[in-house]
Structure 1
Amino acid sequence: MESMRELFKVGFGPSSSHTMGPQRAALKIKEMYPEATRFHVDLHGSLALTGKGHLTDYIIEKTFAPKPVDFSFKSEELPEHPNGMIVHVFQGDQEMKQIEVYSIGGGSILFKGDLAQEPVQVYKQNTMKEILHYVDEHGISLYDYVLENEGDDFDHFLSDILGAMFESVENGLKKEGLIQGKLKLKRVAKSMFQQAQNTRREADRERLFISSYAYAVSEENADGGKIVTAPTCGASGIMPAVLYYCYKQLHIEKKDLIKALAIGGLFGNVVKTNGTISGADGGCQAEVGTACAMAAATMAWIYELNNSLIEYAAEMGLEHNLGLTCDPVGGYVQIPCIERNGYGSLRALDAAMLAKQLGYLRKNKVSFDTIVKVMKETGKDLSSDYKETSLGGLAKEFGLS
């Protein structure tokens, strides 16, 4: 598996695959060809179909500036991934290079041809079964396992990530008004937070707090604000909501939240390695489902559950998002994405609670690795209309005038 540094990235919304990935690709190409005078970009598949709402053309044009760039939007997919593009590099009227590049989820990119590079493998183990066997055999914790592979200074990186997550929550809770785009969607996180403060019933109050935190980050993301991919921009509200809730309502210290973040990230890394975290590839089960599994594992660790029960919580978090479609209305990461983050954060809490209560009554028969495999197969079977193309589902029925 790759480093978790490739999973948690600080960047700007609204989409890790449609905004952050193309921006990284354009930056690299611009650095490689400083003599270029202009660019033409063919956006393919999901990048073409929802690129406008996800600001794909905007971020590429901004990155290549001041050199001009024009675009072609082509609905057919390139062979390697639904999020593909071909960048034509020109010097005057002469085409210097055609570069095929894919945005494969979570802001990660993959170049084809002579620019292709093999990802750096940091972990020797690739499945949760292998990881759990290793830590049991060596008598170490999951957090010690992460540091063993990432390096002792990795806690500093995680501290920065946690800080960026908390900043995105707090920024979102301060803001009011409309989110950019044709949907004219109103920000509600601040009002939800105020409702939570004024709610007497403890159970309702706690769930409102978590929801308001998830909405705060998701609204920031939808408006192009700074967030952390966890594992993607579209699902960036779930992990911060659970962690911020643990900090503010449960009074868990940051040094322990850093460890909890590492545990959640480990499960996200397994999904990224063996399944997919791309909505264009696997539907929203790959984004919100993975984030829910990560947050469930995080919460289970906070509950001081053993490794088997942490896996159980993560398995439930992903299992009960199987088949979740990605159908953003108008190509914006707003409806149903923001609400889904709030719902996903509550599901993560419930998964950890169920693992805590049920895990000691009977052994879970379904492994996390099994659910990752099923999620990947389910994603392959989903129609492309339900994988970040805005051609089916809610996006089709809602309509925009």
Structure 2
Amino acid sequence: MESISVFEIIKVGIGPSSSHTMGPWNAAANFLKQIRTNYSIADVKEVYVEFFGSLAKTGIGHGTDVAGMLGLSGEDFKVIDTGKITEKVEAIKNSGLINLGGEKVIPFIYGEHLILNKKRSLDYHPNGMIFRAVFIDGKELVQDYYSVGGGFIATREASSYENHCIRTLYPCHSGADVVRNIEKLGLNKISDLIFQNEESWRPRAETEREALYIWQQIKECIYKGVNKEGILPGGLNVTRRAAAWNTKLLGDKIYRNIDEWFQLVVDAEETFTTINKWVSCFALAVNEENASFGRIITAPTNGASGVIPAVLMYSQAFTEHTSEEEIIRFILVAGEIGTLFKKNATISAAMGGCQAEVGVSSSMAAGALTEMMGGTPAQALMAAEIAMEHHLGMTCDPIGGLVQIPCIERNSMGAIKAITAANIALESDPAKARVSLDQVIQSMWETAQSMSDRFKETSEGGLAIAVNVAEC
């Protein structure tokens, strides 16, 4: 089994969906790479992309079509001006042309060159797509891709992380592996072990810089979210709430930048109710940004991108564990727990429902917060188990195919559950626990396999049907 870096699980992304936006975007970029490797962009006459199954059924609401067009245009979601996404997409649709890879303008008719096939699914994975390039000489290049969660893509031949197939010094493919290696090395923290394994990808100093960069991105995303009012795009007319909460919680206090705002939060009243409201506000802020094609931190997916930021911000605003080292260790532990779900179950809602997104993110945050608060490795794994245990069976049923209802509020609930799970674990003896993290991961995967496809990001069951709204 391949080792996965924590920064493959926690990374910079773009809304609204890691599986339905980032995955197709990455697939388009990979297809351009294949064209350049085997042929030339200049030799392409036409290009086609067809999305199937879950990608098609919630494709408009999740921006799958947008990702396909911008990906084929050679845009990079890590650096694109998110404020110009709509403008760029409308230009393609209105002109009937696409600048393939930023190198050659060719015909591109929406509905002909890009198709959302809601009637068919590919066998390999619910999130399937096929790209096809037709060259001037009549030759064709065809490639299938599958968006398998968290922005990861795969083909039938190889996984998306084929270039990262690294075997770490102390492989951790299960919770039992984590415990075994910690005992073998005589370590006191899970993060001590992860630091050593991450050196298979980069020096320790670079790992620390990347973790702090992610923390900075988290703060900026929350700050943007608490300072934006209005209606979220997509047609459901969902009102942004984080800004109003922020104003109500801060009262008449004035700030001019992110640092001044953060200090006001730190100095805020610390009652149970107030802290609870701040945690929810943090999560709402991130997921409102995600719902509007904002730049967020995928952790491990976009639909669950508010949980870890909310819990980490909680730790920095309302606990004494505020050093840079503790922030770094939090991100490392959270990411490592995410890899266990990725390798042994799924982080794709199309495969496992929302338990695979918010459930996994809550588990990641719970384990990381427990170590940060002084918990033992066993207590951290126990917290991760508790958080997932109480998300088992959670369906993915976005109304109108949008990552808004119930997704945004669900992140607030996942964050609160993570904090609660950490508190329970910190007051418990893991030796007396009857359920292990590995067992709950296995149970989650079995639940995912038994779950009807109606509840796996298709908008064909649950709230998506009870609230009868056509895909927006």
Q: TM-score range by the shorter chain?
A: over 0.9
Find the counterpart in structure 1 of residue 408 from structure 2. Answer: 338
Contact 2:153 2:160 in 1 (8 A): no
1:180 to 218, 233, 258: 233
Find the counterpart in structure 2 of residue 76 from structure 1. Answer: 120
Q: Distance in 1 between matches of 2:119 and 2:456?
A: 13
Task: State the Cα distance separating 1:294 from its structure 2 match.
Answer: 0.6
Find the counterpart in structure 2 of residue 347 from structure 1. Answer: 417
Contact 1:21 1:108 in 2 (8 A): yes
Find the counterpart in structure 2 of residue 281 from structure 1. Answer: 351
Report sequence identity in percent: 36
Find the counterpart in structure 2 of residue 2 from structure 1. Answer: 4
2:72 to 45, 64, 81: 64
Q: Distance in 2 between matches of 1:59 and 1:93?
A: 28
User: Aligned in 2, Cα 1:335/1:116: closer, same or farther, shift over 3 Å?
Assistant: closer
Unaligned runs of 5+ in 2: 36-40, 74-98, 100-105, 252-267
Deviates more, 1:41-50 or 1:277-286: 41-50
Contact 2:20 2:62 in 1 (8 A): yes
2:186 to 139, 153, 162: 139
Q: Distance in 2 between matches of 1:277 and 1:37?
A: 37
User: Aligned in 2, Cα 1:391/1:308: closer, same or farther, shift over 3 Å?
Assistant: same
2:165 to 99, 120, 128: 120
Q: Summarize the alignment of residues 1-400 of structure 1 with structure 2, pairs less than 5 Å apart.
A: 1-33=3-35, 34=41, 35-65=43-73, 66=99, 67=106, 68=108, 69-92=113-136, 94=138, 96-113=140-157, 118=162, 120-123=165-168, 124-140=171-187, 141-151=189-199, 152=204, 153-197=206-250, 202-251=271-320, 252-359=322-429, 363-400=432-469
Find the counterpart in structure 1 of residue 255 from structure 2. Answer: none
Root-mean-square deviation (CA), in Å?
A: 1.9
Q: Distance in 1 between matches of 2:158 and 2:184?
A: 42
**Match of 1:133, SS?**
helix
Task: State the Cα distance separating 1:156 from its structure 2 match.
Answer: 1.4
Deviates more, 1:105-114 or 1:174-183: 105-114
Cα displacement string for residues 36-95 of structure 1 (whole angstroms, at most 9, x for unaligned residues): 232221211100110111010112112223242422414332122110111111124835
Contact 1:127 1:369 in 2 (8 A): yes
Q: Distance in 1 between matches of 2:19 and 2:394?
A: 18
Q: Distance in 1 between matches of 2:353 and 2:119?
A: 17
Contact 1:12 1:225 in 2 (8 A): yes
Cα displacement string for residues 366-394 of structure 1 (whole angstroms, at most 9, x for unaligned residues): 10000001001100000000000000000
Contact 1:45 1:75 in 2 (8 A): yes
Task: State the Cα distance separating 1:247 from its structure 2 match.
Answer: 1.2
Q: Distance in 2 between matches of 1:122 and 1:232?
A: 24
TM value normalised by structure 1: 0.95
Cα displacement string for residues 271-307 of structure 1 (whole angstroms, at most 9, x for unaligned residues): 1111100000000000000000011112211220111
Q: Distance in 2 between matches of 1:64 and 1:355?
A: 47
User: Aligned in 2, Cα 1:88/1:259: closer, same or farther, shift over 3 Å?
Assistant: same
Task: State the Cα distance separating 1:122 from its structure 2 match.
Answer: 4.1
Unaligned runs of 5+ in 1: none
Q: Which amino acid aligns with 1:148?
A: Q
**Match of 1:176, SS?**
coil
Task: State the Cα distance separating 1:347 from its structure 2 match.
Answer: 0.6
Contact 2:329 2:372 in 1 (8 A): no
Q: Aligned residue pairs: how many?
A: 400
Q: Distance in 2 between matches of 1:387 and 1:114?
A: 24
Q: Distance in 2 between matches of 1:82 and 1:378?
A: 16
Q: Distance in 1 between matches of 2:132 and 2:310?
A: 41
Q: Which amino acid aligns with 2:46?
A: R
Deviates more, 1:12-21 or 1:58-67: 58-67
Larger Rg: 2
Deviates more, 1:179-188 or 1:112-121: 112-121
Q: Distance in 2 between matches of 1:115 and 1:147?
A: 25
Q: Distance in 2 between matches of 1:114 and 1:146?
A: 26
Contact 2:330 2:368 in 1 (8 A): yes
Q: Distance in 1 between matches of 2:151 and 2:115?
A: 21
Task: State the Cα distance separating 1:333 from its structure 2 match.
Answer: 0.2
Task: State the Cα distance separating 1:264 from its structure 2 match.
Answer: 1.3
Contact 2:57 2:116 in 1 (8 A): no
Contact 1:180 1:223 in 2 (8 A): yes
Q: Distance in 2 between matches of 1:272 and 1:175?
A: 33
TM value normalised by structure 2: 0.81
Cα displacement string for residues 317-376 of structure 1 (whole angstroms, at most 9, x for unaligned residues): 00100000000000000000000001110111111111122337x711110000001001
**Match of 1:312, SS?**
helix
Contact 2:152 2:160 in 1 (8 A): no
Q: Distance in 1 between matches of 2:160 and 2:213?
A: 30
Q: Distance in 2 between matches of 1:105 and 1:64?
A: 20
Q: Distance in 2 between matches of 1:53 and 1:99?
A: 25
Q: Which amino acid aligns with 1:357?
A: E
